[in-house]
């Protein structure tokens, strides 16, 4: 009897910990949806690289910052074109809605140079930013709130991008603990695409992960994150311009659409670093959909490369509290 009671107590205490994490559940490209796999529970081929843990990546120098927790190469490389709309759907650790509402969404791309994306080692990727979304025009509400409400987020692939295989690195940075240095929680994901067309645009500048961020960057360590109306500075490079390959062609800014199907939001357009939120030069759509549940329970191992995650309602896992409850159950 004591064993059953202890198990129930353990599950009750751990539930907020699981639901306060999340992962990229699916990606849509021009209306075609590709399901991802529940972390550490692959059930089918996907273009989304599988991570093994729903915990956030912690620390700007963490090697998992490229594609997520111990991300594995995906089996599929799916078709896309210059200008294609790419839609990202996020889920919490229990398959429900994304649990956070504070912090930016940013999207990068990298060419899978020398091979196909299903064989490409992302540790050597040269990333360029194509979209970013921070606060809405009210200066206080984050676009991430729409994701928490069940919405999806969309971008457009740059119109003149050169054909080939690319990784799309889409991430959410949860800033609910960013009032302390090292508190930011990174949720990166990578999707493998093969872009057609006859474009000739290549990025004017690239960055590496890790390397593009520092734990002290204003958009990662933000003591004012809860101050209404405070400005936000996006970390990392500005949105890249694509120039004619090999050459002297005029730079072209990527066309980035951000979609979250219910509330409207604003995303930033190319600008010189650092860029502050809100910005309104990019078309934005936000489509609201309900996140469906999954049958398998995501893994949350609490590894050294993972973070201690707290929900925005301040519920968290407390080991000492757990030990006190366990003793009381055993004595009963």
d(CA 116, CA 112): 6
What 8-state DSSP symbol labels residue 131? Answer: E
Number of alpha carbons in the 13 Å side-chain half-sphere of residue 203: 20
User: What's the sign of the alpha-carbon dihedral 267, 138, 216, 39?
Assistant: negative
The pLDDT tens digits of the residues spanning 107-154 come to: 999 999 999 999 999 999 999 999 999 999 999 999 999 999 999 999
Q: How far apart are the first and last CA of the chain?
A: 10
Give which of 220, 108, 194, 110 is closest to 155, Cα–Cα. Answer: 108
Tens of each residue's pLDDT in the chain, 332 residues: 444 444 433 333 334 445 679 999 999 999 999 999 999 999 999 999 999 999 999 999 999 999 999 999 999 999 999 999 999 999 999 999 999 999 999 999 999 999 999 999 999 999 999 999 999 999 999 999 999 999 999 999 999 999 999 999 999 999 999 999 999 999 999 999 999 999 999 999 999 999 999 999 999 999 999 998 899 999 999 999 999 987 654 455 554 455 665 543 444 433 334 445 544 333 344 554 443 333 344 544 444 344 444 444 444 433 334 344 344 444 44
Q: What is the pLDDT of residue 128?
A: 98
Helix (H, G, I), strand (E, B) or coil at 29: strand
Q: What is the pLDDT of residue 245?
A: 80
User: What's the sign of the alpha-carbon dihedral 18, 258, 270, 82?
Assistant: positive
Q: Do residues 155 and 140 touch, judged by C-beta distance below 8 A?
A: no
pTM given for the model: 0.77
| Token code pair at residue 135 | 């606060």
User: Cα separations (Å) of 288 from 108, 147, 154?
Assistant: 23, 8, 11
Q: What are the DSSP calls for 60-127, one per residue?
A: TT-GGGTTSTT-B--S--EEE-TT-EEEEEEEETTSSS----SS-EEEEEEE-TTS-GGG--GGG--E
Q: What is the pLDDT of residue 20?
A: 78
């Amino acid at each position: 009897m004591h064993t059953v009671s202890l198990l129930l107590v353990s599950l009750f205490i751990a539930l907020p910990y699981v639901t306060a994490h999340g992962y990229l559940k699916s990606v849509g490209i021009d209306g075609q949806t590709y399901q991802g796999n529940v972390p550490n529970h692959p059930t089918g081929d996907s273009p989304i690289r599988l991570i093994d843990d729903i915990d956030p990546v912690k620390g700007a120098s963490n090697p998992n910052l490229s594609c997520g927790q111990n991300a594995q190469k995906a089996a599929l490389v799916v078709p896309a074109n210059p200008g294609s709309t790419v839609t990202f759907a996020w889920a919490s650790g229990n398959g429900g809605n994304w649990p956070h509402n504070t912090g930016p969404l940013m999207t990068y791309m990298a060419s899978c140079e020398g091979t196909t994306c299903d064989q490409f080692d992302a540790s050597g990727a040269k990333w360029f930013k194509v979209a970013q979304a921070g606060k809405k025009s009210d200066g206080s509400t984050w676009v991430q709130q729409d994701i928490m409400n069940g919405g999806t987020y969309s971008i457009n692939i740059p119109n003149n991008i050169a054909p080939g295989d690319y990784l799309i690195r889409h991430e959410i940075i949860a800033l609910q603990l960013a009032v302390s240095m090292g508190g930011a929680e990174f949720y990166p994901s990578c999707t493998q695409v093969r872009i057609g067309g006859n474009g000739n645009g290549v990025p004017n500048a690239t960055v590496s992960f890790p390397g593009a961020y520092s734990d002290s960057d204003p958009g990662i360590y933000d003591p004012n994150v809860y101050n209404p109306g405070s400005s936000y500075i996006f970390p990392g490079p500005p949105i890249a311009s694509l120039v004619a390959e090999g050459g002297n062609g005029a730079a072209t800014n990527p066309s980035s659409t951000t979609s979250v199907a219910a509330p409207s939001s604003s995303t930033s357009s190319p600008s010189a670093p650092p860029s502050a939120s809100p910005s309104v030069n990019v078309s934005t759509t936000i489509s609201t959909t309900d996140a469906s549940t999954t049958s398998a329970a995501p893994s949350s191992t609490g590894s050294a490369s993972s973070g201690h995650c707290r929900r925005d309602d301040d519920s968290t896992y407390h080991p000492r509290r757990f030990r006190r409850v366990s003793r009381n159950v055993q004595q009963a």
